[in-house]
Structure 1
């Protein structure tokens, strides 16, 4: 794995993929300095209870109860050579969407206040000063060298025992002391190890080997963190709402098995850090799509960039991870005809220029300005769809393009939702909205569904995917209720109710991918409520309302 992965989220809303995302060490340190932190060193594994029951990977109780966590779970995976990538993980049998692939503790992890993850330099210190320093994993993880990208790893029989700093770059080899790609602050030598003073008269000669060993260990830890660590500005917020002992927290840590996964801009797996406040800091990985036997399992290394067009997405990966992505999505978008690529760039630029005015309209609850913003964003999308049809772009590539323009889809969907809220509250900015309440609720449901389809194609299983699925199901249910209340024709009501059932099924599928396929009814209901609130909380906050204020009457 190349470089530190920290989920950068987004400045304007948490509705972004929660998968692996890149952030420079300096950015993490700056964010850390802005808020007080509580840091928790997470144990490598929970203490095993006497005679524990066998772990059931299809169960879901461990999502809220860390006492049900296994010591370590690895599903049908193996580490293998992947063409053009070095090594990676692939399946040993066919895997269904939502199946648990990994549930593993960290080598070391630190937590902090929400939105203020500890800097990676502190993780380096925690590894070098703790039991992780003796782990053989430090000699098996990618360290920037070509050889380390090919070292075999037996996932089913992980390395055990003390690894110390032995191996190809153990000790004071005289090579690059900073480590390829390691943050300068993380690689700086620190204090000598405790107990390093010689027993016979404190001779300086006896101190030197221990100091060199300590420095070599810190260099190895710095390389391991620089190329393999994961960070996130907060854990899953819906789960945090349901677990009083799990207040939102940020984290940075090193999960060796998880670090073996490679990147894809439309990945087939999703990761979920769990139980930060509970002291376990486990990492779960699930299949986000059906995966054939022998296929590579991939995740996303980036956050908001995953929902941006090809050029800025590739640039972000190149800047932080120093490779040019050649996944199917990137190659598919690179092969698009020039007119399509030019239109994509124009739509992205127009949306960036429109967003400040749109956000001001949301805050002011200005219905006329919201309609203007929606009209402009919709016109840009119509131009894009026309170009995609004219150039006969295949459906999968169309969805990838739309995912890259999620910001535009979001403007339309949020404008529709804001207008519906304003109308339900009896306000219209001095100008009556065209059509009926049924038309407004239909528009809100349709635009949210368009955004969901794009995100599901590029970021399945992400927090954004789950939140949008919950939002779409609620919007479809609300539209069916609006038609019933308006005594619309029976065929229209029946069609709306069928659409609501389909939206509920898509929501259940999204929850299964992120949280598991066998969720207890109570847990699923709680997650649905939390996800619905989270999906619109920023829209409500921008409008000066609570998460539920201004909503149409519940149905």
Structure 2
């Protein structure tokens, strides 16, 4: 939640700037067309700088008050540019800022060129409208105002200069269908789909799914309709964790209210494992009958205890449906718990090569990396605990599902950080310590206690050095290092949040005390890369990759190598999650997720 608030203004500013990159007139047109900004404003250079400093301080206070570190940085940089953009071209050329890697000023010059003005009384950017024109109530924050002018960024569509990207007529049939999946507001749902996968018997695992041919990143593997699903409002949407239903509640709901057709009854009674006996392999006819959904619907009469076992072993849930798609479809991204029969055949890995999410009531599964024919498809059963140390993950899997993981990540961690090892003990201690410290940090961030935040960051950095030193001593490979970092992901995430808040504090106070502001990219990039190694295509990884791309563009400019790297990471993450969508829709999905 802290991150979501932090990125809103920076993302919106970069989106508008990217879309209007070609709008700022060049020096010749400025000199030929109008008098200089200095003459218009009646300011000399010192006065303009003083006005800039005052606006910077006001903007930092306003954005920080909304709980956003990067929002404060971006808004402050934008305010600082308000006066600078009006100076005479000979005194302050935009290329000077590019040379100084001060990309934020260049972006916000373009915001001004797009018709936005900084309202010092309201302490935010807004459209240049007449005083008697009122903005809608839902457009009173910076991101809404900016997206009203330029609804979506152009990071990938067009040439990044505000020109339109692909025409609708140029989209492939698949891209047009995907656009309908993610943006249709008429209730359209993706049809049940059985992609290039097949069910096989796997030694030591029972059943599993493998790809029947080579597939690319983002390939659709299946779309499953649930036998039953419950929805709820998650903690992040205003209610507590207790509002999430228990697995038994889903089973009770099925027994009391759900009716199934003959094929669905077959899957529930014979094909979904109840933890006892042999697992029968579903046939292609079983799958086709399930998708055909024919025959009369009748109540579930199964023994309740057996139904509890089936639901516990096969259900899936998450705190929200896909956020970008839900927003674009005009739906609420509510939490959900359901029983999707085909997806229940996919085995677990602590480094899954597929991702899943829900649109409406349909579970979408896509490959998050290239897979060779015959390679197993895997998902994570662990949710947030995927980023916990090995022993905690194994205990969770054993308790809930009756097995322990044997994936490559698990084997690598057993070699270097297994039970009894110094590194393993340090990781366990660090995870528990971070869990306790997170509440203290949340309070400090909420109260904007910069002294406390600085102290916490120092402790976190010290612990990080201990962890990194222990990994060097253990001589782990670069891949295993990322996996081990993922085992204490909260450590790196909390450092990133402290870095955001620390940077947002720069610029507060008098003009003499103000320091240049720099958007943090280093700590954020580490977090994005850690999640890329264990949860590629997840909502969290896609979100961090998008935020990293925006920050890199603001900090370094669009032609810097780090920005190019961030763009590649972002595109890969969103392609893995949403498939081969058009560049225009890709921009829309990114902007919508950042603006949420």
TM-score (structure 2 length as normaliser): 0.63
Equivalent in the alignment of 1:420: 503
- Aligned with 1:96: secondary structure? coil
The answer to whether the 8 Å contact 1:72/1:105 transfers is yes
Equivalent in the alignment of 1:299: 379
Equivalent in the alignment of 1:446: 522
Equivalent in the alignment of 1:63: 182
Q: Distance in 2 between matches of 1:57 and 1:285?
A: 17
Query: Structure 1 unaligned runs (5+)?
Result: 1-10, 16-53, 166-192, 195-213, 276-280, 482-492, 535-555
Equivalence map 1:363-442=2 (5 Å)? 363-424=446-507, 426=508, 436-438=516-518, 441=519
Q: Distance in 2 between matches of 1:159 and 1:143?
A: 21
Q: CA 1:217/1:293 → structure 2, altered by over 3 Å: closer, same or farther?
A: same
Q: Distance in 1 between matches of 2:396 and 2:258?
A: 33
Q: Distance in 2 between matches of 1:130 and 1:339?
A: 51
The answer to whether the 8 Å contact 1:329/1:400 transfers is yes
Deviation for aligned residue 1:224? 3.1
TM-superposition CA deviations, 1:42-100 (whole Å, max 9, x none): xxxxxxxxxxxx98488412123276545321111000011211001011111111111
- Aligned with 2:284: secondary structure? coil
RMSD value over aligned CA atoms?
3.2
> Is 2:195 the partner of 1:110?
no
Deviation for aligned residue 1:411? 0.9
Deviation for aligned residue 1:127? 3.9
TM-superposition CA deviations, 1:234-261 (whole Å, max 9, x none): 21223223232x1132222211111111
Equivalent in the alignment of 2:591: 529
Q: CA 1:70/1:341 → structure 2, altered by over 3 Å: closer, same or farther?
A: closer
The answer to whether the 8 Å contact 1:137/1:163 transfers is no
- Aligned with 1:89: secondary structure? strand
1:456 pairs with one of 524, 532, 557 = 532
Equivalence map 1:272-311=2 (5 Å)? 272-275=357-360, 281-311=361-391
- Aligned with 1:253: secondary structure? strand
Higher helix share: 2
Equivalent in the alignment of 1:501: 564
Deviation for aligned residue 1:155? 7.4
TM-superposition CA deviations, 1:160-181 (whole Å, max 9, x none): 588999xxxxxxxxxxxxxxxx
TM-superposition CA deviations, 1:460-493 (whole Å, max 9, x none): 1111101111111122122115xxxxxxxxxxx9
Q: Distance in 2 between matches of 1:282 and 1:262?
A: 19
- Aligned with 1:466: secondary structure? helix
Q: Which moved more, 1:338-347 or 1:70-79?
A: 338-347
Tell me the number of residue pairs that the alignment of Structure 1 and Structure 2 aligns.
412
Deviation for aligned residue 1:504? 1.6
- Aligned with 1:111: secondary structure? strand
- Aligned with 2:506: secondary structure? helix
TM-superposition CA deviations, 1:298-334 (whole Å, max 9, x none): 0001111101111111111122112122221112111
Q: CA 1:375/1:125 → structure 2, altered by over 3 Å: closer, same or farther?
A: closer
1:72 pairs with one of 192, 195, 210 = 192
> Is 2:555 the partner of 1:479?
yes
The answer to whether the 8 Å contact 2:324/2:589 transfers is yes
The answer to whether the 8 Å contact 2:493/2:527 transfers is yes
Q: Distance in 2 between matches of 1:121 and 1:343?
A: 36
Equivalence map 1:317-356=2 (5 Å)? 317-336=397-416, 338-356=421-439
The answer to whether the 8 Å contact 2:200/2:281 transfers is no
Q: Distance in 2 between matches of 1:124 and 1:286?
A: 27
Equivalent in the alignment of 2:349: 264
Q: Distance in 2 between matches of 1:71 and 1:60?
A: 11
Equivalent in the alignment of 2:251: 124
Q: Distance in 2 between matches of 1:142 and 1:327?
A: 22
Equivalent in the alignment of 2:543: 467
The answer to whether the 8 Å contact 1:114/1:248 transfers is no
Deviation for aligned residue 1:378? 1.4
Q: CA 1:431/1:78 → structure 2, altered by over 3 Å: closer, same or farther?
A: farther
Query: Structure 2 unaligned runs (5+)?
Result: 6-171, 236-242
Deviation for aligned residue 1:427? 5.3
Q: Distance in 1 between matches of 2:285 and 2:497?
A: 44
Q: Distance in 2 between matches of 1:155 and 1:394?
A: 45
> Is 2:281 the partner of 1:151?
yes
The answer to whether the 8 Å contact 2:202/2:208 transfers is yes
TM-superposition CA deviations, 1:309-368 (whole Å, max 9, x none): 111111111221121222211121111052322332343244234333322221121223
> Is 2:323 the partner of 1:234?
no
Q: CA 1:420/1:533 → structure 2, altered by over 3 Å: closer, same or farther?
A: farther
Q: Distance in 1 between matches of 2:246 and 2:504?
A: 41
Q: CA 1:432/1:261 → structure 2, altered by over 3 Å: closer, same or farther?
A: farther
Deviation for aligned residue 1:227? 2.0
Q: Distance in 2 between matches of 1:226 and 1:112?
A: 18
Equivalent in the alignment of 1:85: 205
Q: Distance in 2 between matches of 1:305 and 1:357?
A: 21
TM-superposition CA deviations, 1:3-24 (whole Å, max 9, x none): xxxxxxxx99899xxxxxxxxx
